[in-house]
A and B are shown apart, each in its own frame.
Chain A
């Protein structure tokens, strides 16, 4: 109970920086941001790929239930799809803040460039979003119909959200689930493509040796699965009935996260080893920044200690049989992957493309060092708070972990 209260409190407090940040974003544009023309992408882009990875990851895990029929994970199926929707909304909101002209977001739909990985990504996640919403509505449909009869605002909300759906029989539920299977099956390649596309967006740039690797889209997918799985585990431990009701499942999820985490570590290791050994100057300079630069702790403490070693120590040992500790381990993964995302975006750009470029002019926008400004942090924390509130609303309104009984007597 207290945990949930803290959840709400942090979320509501988060709305304050969001309001201030939004006001500043609208009135001053990007003037207060610390990124520049050498490091053109900063905290918000890292946050965007973080959230979008969480979305793709938790959606792909929901396919265990809805495509591959793994009954054991049934109770978190809807929670996984809900998590995917919330993370995607947060990701899109973040990247919307980041573009130079907020009012021109629709340009990406009417003037698309077929050769741009960013355009591919946008079409794919738009389609993915539609599939997600349709799938989630179908998953909730029967319960919404049932909830129509509830008194007061809950019933009203259900009547609105149910659209014109009727039929609360078990047969209609089975029919819904057949449609869900189709949508979920379509969603899997979409999620793989769009998140691989986010990785490709970075990977295709030959100008940035640190990103220019065929492994990049694949690493994005694996780290999406690991971080999304971890978030899902934390959510199912906190949400509604919580960890007491899902002991076995949380322990099983912990094992999945462990496997994905180790696979991700293997890929990262390979990438770093090959990069360092090849000693291409641009690549090595970026790696040195990540590993031994002024923000070395993001890698060694954030990524390695919190995001990798701590969770492995719990999940790979006997400690991994306690669902509470599994939740702790997965929370550590969720936090640690913030470091992963920061270390993808920023060191790749904090290196001069032409020697002497940043020293050529004395201008704060022409520097290779970057640390987010207070304004950027405001938006970042605000969007985090918004996420907690969206989860909180889901907790209150949506019966995510079980279906409501078909006939419910009005109380």
Chain B
């Protein structure tokens, strides 16, 4: 066999290999694009810090709705004293998951257990797949994720029988079964969506924190719908998102 033939065969193999890789990537993306459901909504929140009184009703409502155990919080209220103000008029901030458009928690998951729902942008966790490595907690710049250590509220006699409606899975809490040992996070109460993935504020099918807020500080809605409360507020008021510099594009805005 002469040299030219050898090198051309080697070239051919090389090109074939590169071609195969490229083709499989393209095919994979094409399949993804064809099978992914169309984006119907972009659920988000606009939180008015002027209206928040720091009562933490949202934290309690969330706990009651999602039956989260001790150590698991889907939202918390931080309290930031203004400079020189001491305890006078601090800035309160309720902080659910921001359901980022570019969520840093998603690409790092080794088993694809956490993902952004293509239909409405809600970032979810597949409890049956999650191995509990907590890499997503490390990757989240907003402290929005908790690990379920299996702790239970001691004063609740029925703690072991708690049923959480999360993800419409109605799991009965047991010491060893998921979501114990999983990472958990705010779902925008997606279990309150109907079959079509729609919320209904009038019927009470609305994220628990937004529904409960006595000061009407938490506004929820479709950021893609120009007529929604949230879109209107974003047009009319000055809104900020946290840590914009990280490029995460949060779906939760704060009005100052």
Binding site for B on A (CB under 8 A): 28-31, 33, 36-38, 40-41, 98-101, 104-105, 107-108, 111-113, 115-119, 122, 201, 204-208, 349, 352-357, 359-361, 363-366
Beyond known contacts A112-B110, A366-B73: 17 more, CB 8 A cutoff:
A29-B149, A37-B143, A41-B134, A41-B138, A98-B133, A105-B131, A107-B129, A116-B107, A118-B133, A207-B141, A353-B140, A354-B95, A356-B78, A360-B76, A363-B70, A363-B73, A365-B72
Residues of A within 8 A of B80 (CB): 355-356
Given contacts A30-B150, A363-B70, contact A100 B143 (CB under 8 A): no
| Residues 164 to 218 of chain B near chain A (Cβ within 8 Å) | 175-176, 178, 180-183
Residue pair B107, A115 in contact (C-beta under 8 Å)? yes
Closest partner residue, chain A, to B151 (CB atom)? A31
Closest partner residue, chain A, to B247 (CB atom)? A206
Given contacts A100-B134, A205-B138, A207-B140, contact A29 B107 (CB under 8 A): no
In the assembled complex, how far is the CB of residue A55 from the closest CB belonging to chain B, in whole angstroms? 19
Partner of B178, one of A99, A101, A119, A349: A101
Residue pair B70, A365 in contact (C-beta under 8 Å)? yes
- Docked Cα-Cα span, A373 to B143, in Å, equals 23
Binding site for A on B (CB under 8 A): 59, 70-73, 76-80, 93, 95, 104, 107-113, 129-135, 137-143, 145-151, 175-176, 178, 180-183, 242, 246-247
Residues of A within 8 A of B147 (CB): 30, 36-37, 40, 100, 365
In the assembled complex, how far is the CB of residue B92 from the closest CB belonging to chain A, in whole angstroms? 9
Interface SS, A side: loop
Residue pair A118, B108 in contact (C-beta under 8 Å)? yes
Residue pair B131, A107 in contact (C-beta under 8 Å)? yes
- Docked Cα-Cα span, A350 to B140, in Å, equals 14
Residues of B within 8 A of A122 (CB): 110
- Docked Cα-Cα span, A40 to B109, in Å, equals 15
Between A and B, 29 residue pairs with Cβ closer than 8 Å are A30-B147, A41-B134, A99-B131, A101-B130, A101-B131, A105-B131, A107-B113, A108-B110, A108-B111, A111-B113, A112-B110, A113-B107, A113-B109, A117-B108, A118-B135, A205-B138, A207-B139, A352-B143, A354-B78, A354-B142, A354-B143, A355-B78, A356-B93, A359-B78, A360-B76, A364-B71, A365-B70, A366-B71, A366-B76
Residues of B within 8 A of A119 (CB): 110-111
In the assembled complex, how far is the CB of residue B140 from the closest CB belonging to chain A, in whole angstroms? 6
Residues of A within 8 A of B134 (CB): 40-41, 100
Residues of B within 8 A of A116 (CB): 107-110, 135
In the assembled complex, how far is the CB of residue A280 from the closest CB belonging to chain B, in whole angstroms? 11
Residue pair B246, A206 in contact (C-beta under 8 Å)? yes
Residue pair B137, A37 in contact (C-beta under 8 Å)? yes
Residues of B within 8 A of A101 (CB): 130-132, 178, 181-182
Partner of B77, one of A31, A207, A360: A360
Residues of A within 8 A of B138 (CB): 40-41, 205, 207-208, 349
Residue pair A206, B104 in contact (C-beta under 8 Å)? yes
Residue pair A99, B139 in contact (C-beta under 8 Å)? no
- Docked Cα-Cα span, A116 to B110, in Å, equals 5
Residue pair B135, A357 in contact (C-beta under 8 Å)? no
- Docked Cα-Cα span, A104 to B147, in Å, equals 16
